[in-house]
């Protein structure tokens, strides 16, 4: 086997371990502050320690893991400050993206068809949420046509999904109505309205998430 093939195989294993470990974290099987032992993780995922170490380094870069020389890896605690910072960043990105998305759709530069499809998948007619609503938010940023904004938002989505799971709330009905209104404004090309709706949606969600986490994590 060539060196290139060996490298590709190793990268594929590390990617699989990363995805499996991320899913384990988001689903709450590992708790904030928990020690992540390489040996136990390698046995759990039936791989050597090398891809586990690579996955942990990648998760560290995304803010899920804290690495220290003496203790190794621990799952990052969720703090009030972390949640505030994530929502502050989203409030800088997403209302602007919603405005640009509406302008581009209204001007015929892009289509909202994919956004409609995601809305229908996230908020089925029967009610409830069938998958993470964060895909809806990411598609709005993609529709803005600004790739830098899209690359800025993507790393936050896993953290937000995790935070929603820890808070044990999806706010399904509120999200469905907010998303319906934002979608309608984007389709109609109403940029300023879409931006205002996006801001209000995120600001309200921040308060609800913080309240839920204060109870779940016993914040002072």
For residues 52 and 94, membership in a common domain is answered with no
pLDDT over 70 at 216, yes or no: yes
198 class by beta-carbon count within 10 Å (0-12 exposed, 13-18 middle, 19+ buried): buried
pLDDT for the residue 219: 79
Residue 20 tokens read as: 């499996």
The CATH number of the domain where 98 resides is what? 1.20.120.530
What is the reported pTM? 0.83
For residues 49 and 8, membership in a common domain is answered with yes
Q: Which of 49-53, 97-101, 155-159 has the lowest mean pLDDT?
A: 155-159
Q: Which helix (H) or strand (E) holds 75?
A: strand 72-75
Name 75's bridge partners.
65
For residues 176 and 123, membership in a common domain is answered with yes
For residues 142 and 69, membership in a common domain is answered with no
Alpha-carbon span 167 to 144, nearest angstrom = 30
The structural domain count of the chain equals 2
Contact in structure between 144 and 100 (CB atoms under 8 Å): yes
Contact in structure between 74 and 34 (CB atoms under 8 Å): yes
The CATH number of the domain where 36 resides is what? 1.10.10.10
For residues 105 and 61, membership in a common domain is answered with no
pLDDT over 50 at 4, yes or no: no
pLDDT over 50 at 6, yes or no: no
Mean pLDDT of the region 178-203: 97
pLDDT in tens, 30-81: 888 899 999 999 999 999 999 999 999 999 988 899 998 877 899 998 899 9
Q: Which domain holds residue 58?
A: 3-75
Residue 55 tokens read as: 């996955």
């Amino acid at each position: 086997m060539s060196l290139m093939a060996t490298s590709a195989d190793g990268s594929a294993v590390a990617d699989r371990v990363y995805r499996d470990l991320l899913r384990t974290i988001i689903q709450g099987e590992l708790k904030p502050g928990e020690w992540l032992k390489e040996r136990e993780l390698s046995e759990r995922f039936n791989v050597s320690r090398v891809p586990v170490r690579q996955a942990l380094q990648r998760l560290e870069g995304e803010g899920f893991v804290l690495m220290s020389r003496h203790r190794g890896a621990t799952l990052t605690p969720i703090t009030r400050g972390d949640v505030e910072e994530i929502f502050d960043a989203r409030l800088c990105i997403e209302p602007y993206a919603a405005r640009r998305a509406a302008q581009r759709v209204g001007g015929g530069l892009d289509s909202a068809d994919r956004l409609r499809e995601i809305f229908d998948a996230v908020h089925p007619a029967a009610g409830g949420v069938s998958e993470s609503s964060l895909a809806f938010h990411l598609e709005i940023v993609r529709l803005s046509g600004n790739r830098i904004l899209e690359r800025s938002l993507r790393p936050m989505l896993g953290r937000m999904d995790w935070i929603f799971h820890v808070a044990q709330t999806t706010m399904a009905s509120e999200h469905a109505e907010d998303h319906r209104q934002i979608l309608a404004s984007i389709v109609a090309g109403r940029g300023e309205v879409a931006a205002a709706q996006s801001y209000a949606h995120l600001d309200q969600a921040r308060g609800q998430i913080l309240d839920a986490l204060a109870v779940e994590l016993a914040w002072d």
